[in-house]
A and B are shown apart, each in its own frame.
Chain A
């Protein structure tokens, strides 16, 4: 819809497409990343009896901007023994993989980068870019810590994609669609229509689905934590073991790209979880716009609910990070292969049987 609007405004499909693709970046992801970095510092500080950044702006709100400006000015240190092309491509690829995932995420019913029929599939596929980027960064850096970090990371992300996908398949079996907009539209109405509570309708199977859906949500949330390398699964960049893991050798803006990608990734997976289980952009309790008869208010409310849900899950990720210790690499693999994947399969079979009813 935004595409049609811009296409009419400028009379050119190209400009409309450009605007369409850049909009999420400028009005959503960059401000979000700036906010999230500050927020993480504040959350951690208040959990630890500290104040965190307080000097730049209100309660340090502009601290991230100051930090980014500092990173812009920094010398881009490139060691002589590295593989230059790979080293330079890696941060870009990392960012691309993350940013591309936002193309298929519906921010509201009228604001989606590209309304793909294979939306979920696309997101899972492009976020796989980050594995390649991490491996490239680790290999090109010519640093043993980077290499170990990259190897761990690749093993981890690939392993944890399996339970994630198995859970996504259960949703697809129930709803019969891979399109995130359709999926969100199905969960319209009130919160009892969300997939976590069995989806819309009031048949017997809806109630049978509830325990499986809660289990599925648990599995996918744990797996996404591992996919974005957050504690307790931040093994690839475990600073007490591997200094900074795969981005040890990066400085300046290249480091900032990894850094922003990490935060953007956190939101991407949180959004997917929200879209799959918590109604996406749908309000839990009806729209104000419907109540007072202002139809144009609804998409804005939807953006609000979408952001709120996404940020809530990002907050939980931060909360976990500042509470839990880190697992060891073999324990991490055990968690995935011995617990999450079998559970996800059992869940898949149960949901398959329920959908047959």
Chain B
């Protein structure tokens, strides 16, 4: 006799310890097995794109900070690059270098949060605090540069708000030499932990084809084994002057494109970012960082799409100008929003615990999903 059974609908979030912000997941369960996952978003919607239309171009920058609040520097970086492309201006070499240094520090900081909270999702509490301890040092560097610890308003169109602090280069070098052994510590504690591997390897496998069809970018795409990094493949700023590798997922512990691969890409990228920072600090030219900032930003009529490699993936800005000091339209292609779309695809057939593991491995920030 077949028993009549019902699927259970479990509501994960908006208040849940590990939805990484205010996300609601509607999970359909059969016992512990996931039948479908439906993300519900919009809890953090602040109408950034609409707001931007009422702002002048420089006034948009603080709003940009609040999208991916774990990588605020990089959001500003992307926006500045886009508006400069629209204006057709060149920024001094020193500005470009400082932007790259800040951007890469921000990448390390963002990846530290991603890796740390991922450990927390899997149940390891200690790596999380180790990551935050190290992130704190990066935040201190930012604070020393521009006074803010999270939302910087530092990278402006055509330049920077402040030049570097006289001690910055020394402190940054200190951080680089401090942080290198810490990556190994993190590997010993988490990456090669047998339980961690059991939880993440062969879980949430994202085949390359699916990844491309869903528009996945950044570490998640590289985790599926495709070497694609906008810093190299569609280069901007001065990234072509540095020597660094693009880590790709190789399926070291399981299948290519599983959670462990996506996680490990981030660990490796922190090392690559350190390489870039070291080179940039060596080559850092002298100059004035505010000289190229336009007095009045009034781009010609036209439109621009510009993309940068945010820590989470491809961050694109589409800006339409009608010749006025306010942008006519600012549209953001946020990586987190795109990545959240694959949740259902990845989670089907896994268990409840894997939803958390998968959500952590695609590393979303809800501030950017909802904007």
Contact = CB atoms under 8 A, between A and B. Distances in A.
Contact of A240 (B8, B120, B193): B120
A325 B129 contact: no
A173 interface: no
B122 A50 contact: no
Interface in B318-371: 351-356
Contacts of A326: 122-124, 195, 199, 353
Interface stretch (B10-18, B167-175, B218-226, B249-257): B10-18
A89 interface: no
Contacts of A239: 17
Interface string B169-197: 00000000000000000000110010110
A48 B17 contact: no
Given A49-B130, A240-B121, A327-B195, A144 B10 contact: yes
Interface string A198-216: 0000000000000000000
Given A48-B126, A49-B130, A325-B193, A243 B198 contact: no
A143 B135 CA distance: 37
A327 B198 contact: yes
B162 interface: no
Contact of A325 (B11, B123, B351): B123
A225 interface: no
Interface string A320-331: 011111111111
A241 interface: yes
A306 to B, nearest CB: 30
Interface string B90-120: 0000000000000000000000000000011
A325 B32 contact: no
B123 to A, nearest CB: 3
B18 A240 contact: yes
Given A324-B124, A326-B195, A240 B356 contact: yes
| A47, A49, A242, A325, most chain B CB atoms within 10 A | A325
Contacts of A235: 353
Contacts, number: 81
A140 B11 CA distance: 19
A148 B32 CA distance: 8
A329 B353 contact: yes
Contacts of A243: 16-17
Chain B: interface size category: 20 to 34
Given A148-B32, A322-B125, A322-B126, A328 B199 contact: yes
Contacts of B10: 144-145, 148
Given A325-B123, A325-B124, A331 B356 contact: no
Contacts of B189: 323
Nearest to B355: A241
B251 to A, nearest CB: 20
A185 B18 CA distance: 50
Contacts of A47: 126
Contact of B352 (A44, A50, A148, A322): A148
Given A326-B123, A329-B351, A48 B130 contact: yes
Contacts of A323: 124, 126, 189
A241 B18 contact: yes
Given A148-B32, A241-B18, A232 B123 contact: yes
Given A144-B10, A325-B199, A328-B354, A49 B133 contact: yes
A48 B129 contact: yes
Given A50-B129, A232-B123, A240-B121, A328 B16 contact: no
A241 B195 contact: no
B195 A325 contact: yes
Find the residue from B121, B126, B353 having the highest chain A CB count within 10 A: B353
A148 B190 CA distance: 27
Given A234-B123, A331-B199, 11 more contacts: A144-B11, A240-B17, A240-B356, A241-B18, A242-B352, A324-B195, A325-B122, A325-B190, A325-B193, A328-B199, A331-B198
In order of increasing CB-CB distance, the 10 nearest A-B pairs are A326-B123, A240-B18, A325-B124, A48-B129, A325-B122, A325-B123, A328-B353, A240-B121, A325-B195, A325-B196
